[in-house]
Amino acid sequence: MIFSRKNTEAKSLNRASIGVLYDKHAPWLLAVCLRYIGTREDAEDVMHDGFMKIIRSIDNFKEKQTGSLEAWMRRIMVNTALNFIRDHKKEKMFIDLDPVLESVQVPSDNDDDFGRCDLTKDQLMDLVCELPAGYRTVFNLYVMEDYSHKEIAELLGISENTSKSQLSKARNLLRKRLLVFRNERNYEKAESSR
């Protein structure tokens, strides 16, 4: 029987309904995984693992207790991504940047000179994906998933101060990269007008 929100008693999925569910939700679920994982190949693996968890546990979904189907699926994907990060640490997760990047001036949030960079959604996703794993993980949990620093600390097994520090460093690094992006665009515009 096809899964229906109105019929929460009959949630068994047949092949066709699994395909429909996958086709409808795979693009945004992959985007969630990509924000955490950073590489498309690994994000696709995580998304497939997470989707298998969704299929296996769809009978446990209760809209009244769990929230919307999309929110429930997002939580599964985030948890699957976090498990992948823990299991596949290829780099020290919580790091300091090298001294060269630390010396770049960061515009403040109120700095009118910083301006808008007019990034596409894909360009912004690329910038987030380029963040070091610890920065990216805390940034996504705090900014995108709306977790508190206390919740992040418990989830990742770090202190609240480490969470706050990683978020601050992630934001500063994004500002630096946005500034570089803006300067490159201004240079390209100046060159093309000559």
- 26-77 pLDDT, tens digit per residue, is 999 999 999 999 889 999 999 999 999 999 988 888 766 667 889 999 999 9
Q: Helix count (H) and strand count (E) of the chain?
A: 9, 0
Most confident option among 16-20, 73-77, 84-88, 116-120: 73-77
Tell me what percent of the residues of the chain surpass a pLDDT of 90.
Answer: 42
- 129-163 pLDDT, tens digit per residue, is 889 989 999 999 999 889 999 999 998 889 999 99
Tokens linked to 165: 């520090």
Question: Domains (ranges, CATH) in the chain?
Answer: 15-87 (1.10.1740.10), 99-192 (1.10.10.10)
More confident residue, 39 or 103: 39
- Tell me the C-alpha distance between 52 and 54, whole Å: 5
Look at residue 7 and tell me whether its pLDDT is greater than 90: no
- Mean pLDDT, the chain, rounded, equals 79
pLDDT category, 9, cuts 50, 70, 90?
very low
Q: Over the Cα atoms of the chain, what is R_g? A: 20
Look at residue 10 and tell me whether its pLDDT is greater than 70: no
Residues 138 and 85 sit within 8 Å (Cβ to Cβ): no
| Number of neighbouring beta carbons within 10 Å of residue 173 | 22
pLDDT category, 1, cuts 50, 70, 90?
very low
Taking alpha carbons only, the member of 53, 190, 49, 27 closest to residue 122 is 27
pLDDT (0 to 100) of residue 77: 95
Taking alpha carbons only, the member of 104, 125, 114 closest to residue 37 is 125
Q: What is the DSSP letter of 95?
A: -
Taking alpha carbons only, the member of 19, 92, 11, 86 closest to residue 46 is 86
- Tell me the C-alpha distance between 33 and 128, whole Å: 12
Single pTM value for the model? 0.68
